Amino acid sequence: SDLDAFITGLPKAELHLHIEGSLEPEQMFEFAQRNGVAIPFASVEDVRAAYEFSNLQDFLDIYYAGADVLRTEADFRDLALAYFDRAAADGVVHAEIFFDPQTHTHRGVPFGVVANGLLAGMDEAQRKHGLTSKLILCFLRHLDEADAFRTLEQAQPWLDRIDGVGLDSSEMGHPPAKFERVFAAAGAMGLKRVAHAGEEGPPAYIHEALDLLQVDRLDHGNRALEDPALVARLARRGMTLTVCPLSNVKLCNVASVDVHPIDRMLKLGLRATVNSDDPAYFGGYIGENFRAIAQGRGLDRDQLATLARNSFLGSFLDDDAVAAHL
Ligand code: ADE
Ligand code: ZN
Protein backbone atom coordinates (compact mmCIF):
# COMPACT_ATOMS: atom_id res chain seq x y z
CA SER A 1 0.00 0.00 0.00
CA ASP A 2 0.88 3.70 -0.09
CA LEU A 3 1.58 3.77 3.62
CA ASP A 4 3.90 0.75 3.36
CA ALA A 5 5.88 2.51 0.66
CA PHE A 6 5.96 5.71 2.74
CA ILE A 7 7.33 3.78 5.75
CA THR A 8 9.98 1.96 3.72
CA GLY A 9 10.98 5.22 2.05
CA LEU A 10 11.45 7.07 5.35
CA PRO A 11 15.18 7.19 6.09
CA LYS A 12 15.62 5.84 9.60
CA ALA A 13 18.16 4.83 12.20
CA GLU A 14 17.78 1.68 14.26
CA LEU A 15 18.95 2.22 17.85
CA HIS A 16 17.80 -0.94 19.65
CA LEU A 17 18.81 -4.17 17.97
CA HIS A 18 20.51 -7.12 19.61
CA ILE A 19 22.55 -8.71 16.85
CA GLU A 20 22.15 -12.15 18.47
CA GLY A 21 18.39 -11.54 18.26
CA SER A 22 18.59 -11.31 14.47
CA LEU A 23 19.58 -14.97 14.18
CA GLU A 24 16.89 -16.42 11.91
CA PRO A 25 16.01 -20.12 12.31
CA GLU A 26 17.32 -20.88 8.80
CA GLN A 27 20.68 -19.39 9.72
CA MET A 28 20.64 -21.24 13.06
CA PHE A 29 20.48 -24.52 11.12
CA GLU A 30 23.14 -23.40 8.66
CA PHE A 31 25.59 -22.44 11.44
CA ALA A 32 24.77 -25.56 13.47
CA GLN A 33 25.56 -27.73 10.48
CA ARG A 34 28.77 -26.01 9.45
CA ASN A 35 30.06 -25.95 13.05
CA GLY A 36 28.88 -29.47 13.96
CA VAL A 37 26.73 -28.15 16.82
CA ALA A 38 23.62 -30.10 17.87
CA ILE A 39 20.38 -28.13 18.27
CA PRO A 40 17.23 -29.38 20.00
CA PHE A 41 14.99 -28.74 16.96
CA ALA A 42 14.15 -30.94 13.97
CA SER A 43 13.10 -28.17 11.59
CA VAL A 44 12.78 -24.44 11.03
CA GLU A 45 9.04 -24.81 11.73
CA ASP A 46 9.87 -26.46 15.07
CA VAL A 47 12.07 -23.51 15.99
CA ARG A 48 9.41 -20.94 15.10
CA ALA A 49 6.80 -22.91 17.04
CA ALA A 50 8.99 -22.61 20.15
CA TYR A 51 8.85 -18.80 19.97
CA GLU A 52 5.90 -18.28 22.31
CA PHE A 53 6.88 -16.28 25.36
CA SER A 54 5.00 -15.18 28.45
CA ASN A 55 7.70 -12.86 29.76
CA LEU A 56 11.26 -11.65 29.21
CA GLN A 57 12.94 -14.61 30.94
CA ASP A 58 11.05 -17.13 28.76
CA PHE A 59 12.51 -15.43 25.72
CA LEU A 60 16.01 -15.03 27.15
CA ASP A 61 16.30 -18.77 27.89
CA ILE A 62 15.69 -19.65 24.24
CA TYR A 63 17.72 -16.70 22.91
CA TYR A 64 20.85 -17.71 24.85
CA ALA A 65 20.39 -21.34 23.73
CA GLY A 66 20.13 -20.25 20.09
CA ALA A 67 23.35 -18.24 20.33
CA ASP A 68 25.30 -21.46 20.93
CA VAL A 69 25.55 -22.07 17.16
CA LEU A 70 27.68 -18.89 16.80
CA ARG A 71 31.30 -20.01 16.94
CA THR A 72 33.53 -18.39 14.34
CA GLU A 73 34.38 -14.93 13.07
CA ALA A 74 32.58 -15.85 9.83
CA ASP A 75 29.41 -16.67 11.80
CA PHE A 76 29.37 -13.24 13.43
CA ARG A 77 30.15 -11.52 10.15
CA ASP A 78 27.42 -13.40 8.27
CA LEU A 79 24.93 -12.80 11.09
CA ALA A 80 25.60 -9.06 11.04
CA LEU A 81 25.50 -8.78 7.26
CA ALA A 82 22.17 -10.66 7.08
CA TYR A 83 20.75 -8.12 9.54
CA PHE A 84 22.12 -5.14 7.60
CA ASP A 85 20.70 -6.52 4.34
CA ARG A 86 17.23 -6.64 5.89
CA ALA A 87 17.63 -3.28 7.59
CA ALA A 88 18.74 -1.62 4.34
CA ALA A 89 15.67 -3.07 2.58
CA ASP A 90 13.54 -1.40 5.30
CA GLY A 91 15.11 2.02 4.73
CA VAL A 92 17.60 1.93 7.62
CA VAL A 93 20.60 4.12 6.77
CA HIS A 94 22.29 3.96 10.18
CA ALA A 95 22.21 1.32 12.95
CA GLU A 96 23.64 1.24 16.46
CA ILE A 97 23.70 -2.44 17.31
CA PHE A 98 24.07 -4.25 20.63
CA PHE A 99 26.14 -7.34 21.21
CA ASP A 100 26.39 -9.51 24.33
CA PRO A 101 30.05 -10.59 24.61
CA GLN A 102 29.53 -12.56 27.83
CA THR A 103 27.08 -14.91 26.07
CA HIS A 104 30.02 -15.94 23.90
CA THR A 105 33.09 -15.63 26.13
CA HIS A 106 31.35 -17.83 28.72
CA ARG A 107 31.14 -20.57 26.05
CA GLY A 108 34.82 -20.24 25.20
CA VAL A 109 34.43 -18.01 22.14
CA PRO A 110 37.06 -15.26 22.48
CA PHE A 111 35.96 -11.62 22.63
CA GLY A 112 38.04 -10.87 19.51
CA VAL A 113 36.27 -13.52 17.41
CA VAL A 114 32.95 -11.85 18.18
CA ALA A 115 34.15 -8.27 17.76
CA ASN A 116 36.20 -8.86 14.60
CA GLY A 117 33.36 -10.78 12.97
CA LEU A 118 30.76 -8.11 13.73
CA LEU A 119 33.10 -5.31 12.62
CA ALA A 120 33.72 -7.12 9.32
CA GLY A 121 29.95 -7.29 8.77
CA MET A 122 29.60 -3.60 9.62
CA ASP A 123 32.35 -2.65 7.16
CA GLU A 124 30.75 -4.78 4.44
CA ALA A 125 27.34 -3.14 5.04
CA GLN A 126 28.90 0.28 4.57
CA ARG A 127 30.45 -0.81 1.25
CA LYS A 128 27.39 -2.70 0.04
CA HIS A 129 24.53 -0.42 1.17
CA GLY A 130 26.19 2.81 2.36
CA LEU A 131 24.69 1.88 5.73
CA THR A 132 26.71 3.29 8.65
CA SER A 133 26.78 1.61 12.04
CA LYS A 134 28.09 1.73 15.57
CA LEU A 135 28.68 -1.04 18.08
CA ILE A 136 27.40 -1.04 21.68
CA LEU A 137 28.75 -3.59 24.15
CA CYS A 138 26.03 -4.80 26.53
CA PHE A 139 26.72 -6.20 29.97
CA LEU A 140 24.44 -9.04 31.04
CA ARG A 141 22.79 -7.79 34.22
CA HIS A 142 22.07 -11.27 35.63
CA LEU A 143 25.86 -11.68 35.96
CA ASP A 144 27.86 -9.83 38.57
CA GLU A 145 29.80 -6.58 38.55
CA ALA A 146 33.19 -8.31 38.46
CA ASP A 147 32.21 -10.16 35.28
CA ALA A 148 31.17 -6.86 33.67
CA PHE A 149 34.52 -5.31 34.64
CA ARG A 150 36.39 -8.29 33.12
CA THR A 151 34.39 -7.83 29.92
CA LEU A 152 35.22 -4.12 29.76
CA GLU A 153 38.87 -5.11 30.22
CA GLN A 154 38.67 -7.65 27.36
CA ALA A 155 37.21 -4.93 25.13
CA GLN A 156 40.20 -2.60 25.52
CA PRO A 157 41.93 -3.46 22.18
CA TRP A 158 38.66 -2.72 20.30
CA LEU A 159 37.61 0.46 22.10
CA ASP A 160 38.33 2.65 19.07
CA ARG A 161 35.53 0.74 17.31
CA ILE A 162 33.07 0.44 20.18
CA ASP A 163 30.91 3.52 20.80
CA GLY A 164 29.14 2.66 23.98
CA VAL A 165 28.10 0.26 26.68
CA GLY A 166 24.61 -0.99 27.45
CA LEU A 167 22.83 -3.14 30.00
CA ASP A 168 20.49 -5.98 29.09
CA SER A 169 19.16 -9.43 30.09
CA SER A 170 16.90 -10.19 33.10
CA GLU A 171 15.73 -6.85 34.48
CA MET A 172 13.73 -7.77 37.60
CA GLY A 173 16.01 -8.14 40.61
CA HIS A 174 19.00 -6.67 38.75
CA PRO A 175 18.64 -2.91 39.15
CA PRO A 176 20.97 -0.45 37.44
CA ALA A 177 22.62 0.31 40.81
CA LYS A 178 24.44 -3.02 40.53
CA PHE A 179 26.49 -1.59 37.63
CA GLU A 180 27.09 1.97 38.82
CA ARG A 181 30.87 1.55 39.08
CA VAL A 182 31.39 -0.23 35.77
CA PHE A 183 29.31 2.42 33.99
CA ALA A 184 31.39 5.15 35.65
CA ALA A 185 34.55 3.42 34.39
CA ALA A 186 33.10 3.14 30.87
CA GLY A 187 32.13 6.82 30.94
CA ALA A 188 35.68 7.74 31.97
CA MET A 189 36.91 5.85 28.88
CA GLY A 190 34.77 8.12 26.71
CA LEU A 191 32.10 5.52 25.99
CA LYS A 192 28.42 6.42 25.60
CA ARG A 193 26.07 4.79 28.08
CA VAL A 194 22.63 3.24 27.54
CA ALA A 195 20.59 0.79 29.59
CA HIS A 196 17.43 -1.28 29.30
CA ALA A 197 15.10 0.09 31.97
CA GLY A 198 11.37 0.03 32.49
CA GLU A 199 10.79 -2.85 30.07
CA GLU A 200 9.53 -5.07 32.90
CA GLY A 201 11.14 -3.21 35.79
CA PRO A 202 9.57 -0.37 37.80
CA PRO A 203 10.00 3.39 37.27
CA ALA A 204 12.58 3.38 40.09
CA TYR A 205 14.94 1.47 37.77
CA ILE A 206 14.61 4.26 35.20
CA HIS A 207 15.48 6.85 37.84
CA GLU A 208 18.55 4.74 38.70
CA ALA A 209 19.60 4.50 35.05
CA LEU A 210 19.52 8.31 34.88
CA ASP A 211 21.00 9.09 38.30
CA LEU A 212 23.50 6.27 38.79
CA LEU A 213 24.42 5.14 35.28
CA GLN A 214 24.23 8.60 33.65
CA VAL A 215 22.65 7.11 30.54
CA ASP A 216 22.69 9.02 27.25
CA ARG A 217 19.70 7.05 26.01
CA LEU A 218 17.05 4.80 27.54
CA ASP A 219 16.19 1.39 26.09
CA HIS A 220 12.43 0.66 26.27
CA GLY A 221 11.41 2.97 29.15
CA ASN A 222 7.74 1.99 28.83
CA ARG A 223 7.05 1.94 32.56
CA ALA A 224 8.04 5.61 32.87
CA LEU A 225 4.40 6.22 31.91
CA GLU A 226 3.38 5.14 35.44
CA ASP A 227 5.32 8.08 36.94
CA PRO A 228 4.26 11.55 35.69
CA ALA A 229 7.23 13.29 37.34
CA LEU A 230 9.57 10.89 35.56
CA VAL A 231 7.83 11.50 32.23
CA ALA A 232 8.30 15.25 32.76
CA ARG A 233 11.97 14.72 33.59
CA LEU A 234 12.59 12.61 30.46
CA ALA A 235 10.71 15.06 28.25
CA ARG A 236 12.54 18.08 29.68
CA ARG A 237 15.91 16.40 29.08
CA GLY A 238 15.01 15.35 25.54
CA MET A 239 15.92 11.80 26.52
CA THR A 240 15.54 9.31 23.67
CA LEU A 241 13.50 6.17 24.35
CA THR A 242 14.19 3.19 22.09
CA VAL A 243 10.75 1.63 22.01
CA CYS A 244 10.19 -1.85 20.54
CA PRO A 245 6.49 -2.42 19.78
CA LEU A 246 6.46 -6.04 18.55
CA SER A 247 8.85 -7.01 21.35
CA ASN A 248 6.49 -5.46 23.91
CA VAL A 249 3.61 -7.54 22.56
CA LYS A 250 5.57 -10.83 22.21
CA LEU A 251 6.90 -10.51 25.79
CA CYS A 252 3.40 -9.70 27.09
CA ASN A 253 4.33 -6.24 28.35
CA VAL A 254 1.64 -4.69 26.10
CA ALA A 255 -1.57 -6.59 25.25
CA SER A 256 -1.51 -5.79 21.52
CA VAL A 257 -0.26 -3.14 19.08
CA ASP A 258 -3.80 -1.70 19.16
CA VAL A 259 -3.16 -0.47 22.71
CA HIS A 260 0.56 0.29 22.37
CA PRO A 261 1.45 3.63 24.04
CA ILE A 262 3.76 4.90 21.26
CA ASP A 263 1.46 7.81 20.32
CA ARG A 264 0.82 8.61 23.98
CA MET A 265 4.58 8.88 24.44
CA LEU A 266 4.81 11.36 21.56
CA LYS A 267 1.91 13.41 22.92
CA LEU A 268 3.64 13.57 26.31
CA GLY A 269 6.68 15.10 24.62
CA LEU A 270 8.88 12.02 24.91
CA ARG A 271 11.46 11.47 22.17
CA ALA A 272 10.29 7.98 21.25
CA THR A 273 11.79 5.90 18.45
CA VAL A 274 10.71 2.60 16.86
CA ASN A 275 13.04 -0.41 16.89
CA SER A 276 12.97 -4.17 16.46
CA ASP A 277 14.92 -5.47 19.53
CA ASP A 278 15.22 -9.17 18.53
CA PRO A 279 13.50 -9.34 15.14
CA ALA A 280 14.10 -13.04 14.43
CA TYR A 281 12.30 -13.91 17.67
CA PHE A 282 9.58 -11.24 17.78
CA GLY A 283 8.14 -11.46 14.29
CA GLY A 284 9.54 -8.53 12.38
CA TYR A 285 12.26 -6.07 11.51
CA ILE A 286 11.96 -2.30 11.89
CA GLY A 287 9.65 -1.86 8.88
CA GLU A 288 7.26 -4.43 10.33
CA ASN A 289 7.33 -2.60 13.68
CA PHE A 290 6.45 0.69 11.97
CA ARG A 291 3.65 -0.94 9.95
CA ALA A 292 2.22 -2.67 13.02
CA ILE A 293 1.94 0.52 15.09
CA ALA A 294 0.84 2.61 12.10
CA GLN A 295 -2.06 0.24 11.63
CA GLY A 296 -2.70 -0.61 15.29
CA ARG A 297 -2.70 3.01 16.44
CA GLY A 298 -3.78 4.72 13.24
CA LEU A 299 -0.63 6.84 13.07
CA ASP A 300 -0.49 9.48 10.36
CA ARG A 301 2.50 10.34 8.18
CA ASP A 302 3.54 13.24 10.43
CA GLN A 303 3.75 10.94 13.44
CA LEU A 304 5.69 8.33 11.48
CA ALA A 305 8.10 10.98 10.20
CA THR A 306 8.57 12.28 13.77
CA LEU A 307 9.47 8.79 14.96
CA ALA A 308 12.02 8.42 12.15
CA ARG A 309 13.43 11.90 12.78
CA ASN A 310 13.76 11.09 16.50
CA SER A 311 15.95 8.13 15.60
CA PHE A 312 18.60 10.43 14.14
CA LEU A 313 18.28 12.97 16.95
CA GLY A 314 18.77 10.15 19.45
CA SER A 315 21.66 8.53 17.60
CA PHE A 316 25.33 8.86 18.52
CA LEU A 317 26.16 10.34 15.12
CA ASP A 318 27.91 13.70 15.29
CA ASP A 319 25.83 16.84 14.71
CA ASP A 320 26.85 17.23 11.06
CA ALA A 321 25.88 13.66 10.24
CA VAL A 322 22.56 14.06 12.08
CA ALA A 323 21.83 17.27 10.17
CA ALA A 324 22.64 15.50 6.89
CA HIS A 325 19.97 12.90 7.67
CA LEU A 326 17.18 15.31 8.70
N1 ADE B 1 18.45 -9.18 25.41
C2 ADE B 1 17.96 -9.29 24.17
N3 ADE B 1 16.77 -8.70 24.08
C4 ADE B 1 16.50 -8.19 25.30
C5 ADE B 1 15.41 -7.46 25.85
N6 ADE B 1 14.34 -7.11 25.13
N7 ADE B 1 15.46 -7.13 27.15
C8 ADE B 1 16.52 -7.47 27.89
N9 ADE B 1 17.55 -8.15 27.43
C10 ADE B 1 17.55 -8.51 26.13
ZN1 ZN C 1 16.56 -5.05 24.00
Q: Is the CB of 168 under 6 A from ligand 1?
A: yes
Over range 40-54, report the average pLDDT.
94
Rounded to an integer, what distance in angstroms lies between the CA atom of residue 180 and that of residue 18? 22
Domains identified in the chain and CATH numbers: 2-316 (3.20.20.140)
pLDDT of residue 1: 83
User: 41, 1, 6, 7: which is closest to 25 by C-alpha?
Assistant: 41
Is residue 162 scored above 90 in pLDDT? yes
Is residue 281 scored above 90 in pLDDT? yes
Backbone angles phi, psi at 17, to 5 degrees: -150, 115
Q: Is the CB of 196 under 6 A from ligand 1?
A: yes
pLDDT of residue 84: 99
Order of strands across the sheet that contains 217-220: 12-14, 92-99, 132-140, 164-168, 192-197, 217-220, 240-243, 271-274
- 7 with 291: CB under 8 angstroms? yes
Task: Give the SS3 label for residue 134.
Answer: strand
Q: Is 277 annotated as a binding residue?
A: yes
Over range 165-174, report the average pLDDT.
98
- For residue 18, the ligand 1 atom closest to its alpha carbon is 2
The percentage of residues in the chain with a pLDDT greater than 70, rounded to a whole number, is 100
pLDDT of residue 70: 98
Summarised one tens digit per residue, pLDDT across range 195-233 is 999 999 999 999 999 999 999 999 999 999 999 999 999
- For residue 100, the ligand 1 atom closest to its alpha carbon is 1
Rounded to an integer, what distance in angstroms lies between the CA atom of residue 282 and that of residue 52? 9
β-partners of residue 97 are 135
**171 among known catalytic residues:** no
Q: Is the CB of 73 under 6 A from ligand 1?
A: no
Average pLDDT, whole number, for the chain?
Answer: 98
Rounded to an integer, what distance in angstroms lies between the CA atom of residue 274 and that of residue 100? 21
Summarised one tens digit per residue, pLDDT across range 105-144 is 999 999 999 999 999 999 999 999 999 999 999 999 999 9
How many angstroms separate the alpha carbon of residue 274 from the centre of ligand 1? 15
pLDDT of residue 276: 98
Q: Is the CB of 56 under 6 A from ligand 1?
A: yes
Ligand number nearest to the C-alpha of 15: 2
Summarised one tens digit per residue, pLDDT across range 52-86 is 999 999 999 999 999 999 999 999 999 999 999 99
pLDDT of residue 127: 98
Q: Which of 24, 73, 96, 199 is catalytic?
A: 199
